[in-house]
Amino acid sequence: LPVLQNISFQAGAGQRIAIMGATGSGKTSLVQLIPRLYEETEGTVCLDGHPARELDVHRVRSSIGYVPQEVLLFSGSVRDNIAWGNPEASAAEIELAARQAQIHETIERLPQGYDTIIGQKGVNLSGGQRQRLSIARALARRPAILILDDSTSALDVQTESALLQELKELACTTILITQKVSSTASADLILLLDEGRLIEKGSHQELMKRSSLYRTIYDSQHEEEGQHVQGIR
């Protein structure tokens, strides 16, 4: 049985597309078709109106910043980890990417700043710090397409909001896999997947009107936020 079936959508230049769905619904498989980590067996994935499979794969991937679910950091300096996304990036470009990813101030507080050595897989960093460092690495590539595969899950609402606002200023198309309605509200288009199928698509306002599933997710998350606020008073 195909992993993905009957999925069709269009992302305009500079738009933000949010993808939601339960574990195993095909979200990661869908976005991995874009950098051609998988090849489609039916249908066509197009980039700038051209079938992706007809384009040079290295050229395609060089225009994409991809942050996978599992953070991939290596033992070395913070600077080297960010520059791995673009080995030719200058110190100023690395700092800019860090600022955009909301990690610059954290780096500045480290013992040696950008020259601080981090352990294998970033063991001496928090989950949110590792995610933001990975996003900075992707932004250092100055990508035309930025893919974030559930890579803001460890960020608090305020940090995530600042990050999403910063990304809005960039001239890149952003595809965001998320489980959080706080992330989808600002998207130009939201895709709801279930078992490899697209069951609903639209803006936050449109889905609030016509999708009972989306409203259920929204209500449950707002209820949890309310309980959390009461709990810390």
pLDDT of the residue at 232? 44
Scan for tokens 């949890």, then name that residue.
224
pLDDT of the residue at 230? 47
pLDDT of the residue at 226? 63
State pTM to two decimals.
Answer: 0.91
206 CB neighbour count, 10 Å cutoff = 14
* pLDDT tens string 87-145: 999 999 999 999 999 999 999 999 999 999 998 878 889 999 999 999 999 999 999 99
pLDDT of the residue at 47? 93
DSSP label at 195? T
What residues contact 128, with CB distance under 8 A and at least 6 apart?
154, 155, 156, 159
76 CB neighbour count, 10 Å cutoff = 14
pLDDT of the residue at 212? 92
pLDDT of the residue at 119? 84
In whole angstroms, give the CA distance from residue 143 to residue 160: 20
What residues contact 118, with CB distance under 8 A and at least 6 apart?
73, 75, 76, 77, 78, 81, 124, 125
Q: Residue 165's closest CA among 68, 96, 100?
A: 100
Ranges of the chain with pLDDT below 50: 229-230, 232-233
pLDDT of the residue at 210? 93
pLDDT of the residue at 231? 52
pLDDT of the residue at 233? 41
